[in-house]
Structure 1
Amino acid sequence: MRHGEFEDPRLVTVYDAECPWGRDDDFFRAVVGETPGARVLDLGCGTGRLTLALAADGHTVTGVDPARASLAAARAKPGADRVTWIEGTSAVLPSGAYDVAVLTSHVAQFLVTGADWAATLDDLRRALVTGGRLVFDSRDPADRRWERWNAVDSRRRVTLPDGRAVRAWTEVTAVVNDVVSFVHRYVFPDGEELLSSATLRFRTEPELRDSLRTAGFAVEHLFGGWGREAVGAGDGEFLVVARAG
């Protein structure tokens, strides 16, 4: 299934178990916290791990995601009533409604085509107030992360809330310039195997800066790691903080 880890309820449970709170969440939470009591948009909020934490911090939070199964999982969690949940994409966003917008878990890379990325940035600029901040992550292509996504290095066991263990691994299926396609394979205890395929775009720093400038954003910070290291000295990431002009 395309994007099965977000669209299939069984794989959403695996995704939630495999992706607990981490340094990335700490980073986004800290940046959002620099605007106390902000109206926050979490675009591509998934199952709501960060979304719910931001609401608990006292922000007014809206979580938007096109995957119904992920949103259902988010809505079932404690504190979900503090969040406005919307099924959709950036196209549904109201104008001038948010002080901060975040795209986490490399959501930006799922916008593969230049047209989709540009349209999303335009929507985000429209949705943010002038001076509002956009914060997102995107893997640095120089790190060549996809070369470590293979059946050996990526093998893992995911323990579900009911105690069952799921075997999982990732296989890259195609690399065409800066576009990488792959499939996650999951084998459940009863032998059932489910697949989740996806494609990511790895944009360079100049590409990110140019696209943001075109959309009306000014880059304030661009870090290379979750500890706010310089590009090339951190975790193989681009962590972008930009302001709407």
Structure 2
Amino acid sequence: MRGASLSWRLHGGYDFRSQARALGTATAEVHLALAQRFPTRTALESDRAAVAETWARRLAIAIAEVPDVGGRRDAVETVYRRALEVEWPPLQRIHGDLHLGQVLQVPGQGWVLLDFEGEPLRPMPERTRHDLSMRDVAGMLRSFDYVAGSIRLDDPERSPDAARAWARDARDAFVAGYAGTTGSDLDPRHPLLAALELDKAVYEAIYEARNRPTWVAIPLRAIARLVERPAAVV
């Protein structure tokens, strides 16, 4: 099962919670395996500065190409600033572009993660650098929103409540599966996770404006939600 098949299943009220939890577990297992196979290291101030520069550059591009993003610039920068003020976990090798199109459910084996090539718009040297494992978590959280968002675009007469509830349940189950496997106390409102998810939504806004303008509403709704939702105290 991949991302495309979930959209039509959602029309029938498909309950994905147990699958999402298993996917969170599989993602955590991959991260643990990568941390064992490749070296990890402490996040340095230079790492924070590099991430902050990437966030700022991407936001500037989005504001230039998607005017609706500009109205939330101050709020977006506030989310980023909070993420730079909290403690960061060790950096490690990650997938780099994790979403529902990069996973496959294999009968008898469960979820398998595919295509460890990193984010397409990132320069190649950046794709194998030590990074934050939360980046993969953020990517999958955004992917659940995309399933729900595509339903709203395909069937505008349908109440958006069911789609939003599906995405919320999938997100919660995924994080629960991930946290239960890593032993971490991961909160979707963690300042760093919130900032990484927001940056992913900003990236999506640029991508959709360039390639699928009718879909830009999906990341724009996410940006609005993420800047209005308070971060957890850590």
Q: TM-score, normalised by structure 2?
A: 0.28
Higher relative contact order (CA 8 A, sep 6+): 2
Q: TM-score, normalised by structure 1?
A: 0.28
Task: Give the helix-richer structure, 1 or 2.
Answer: 2
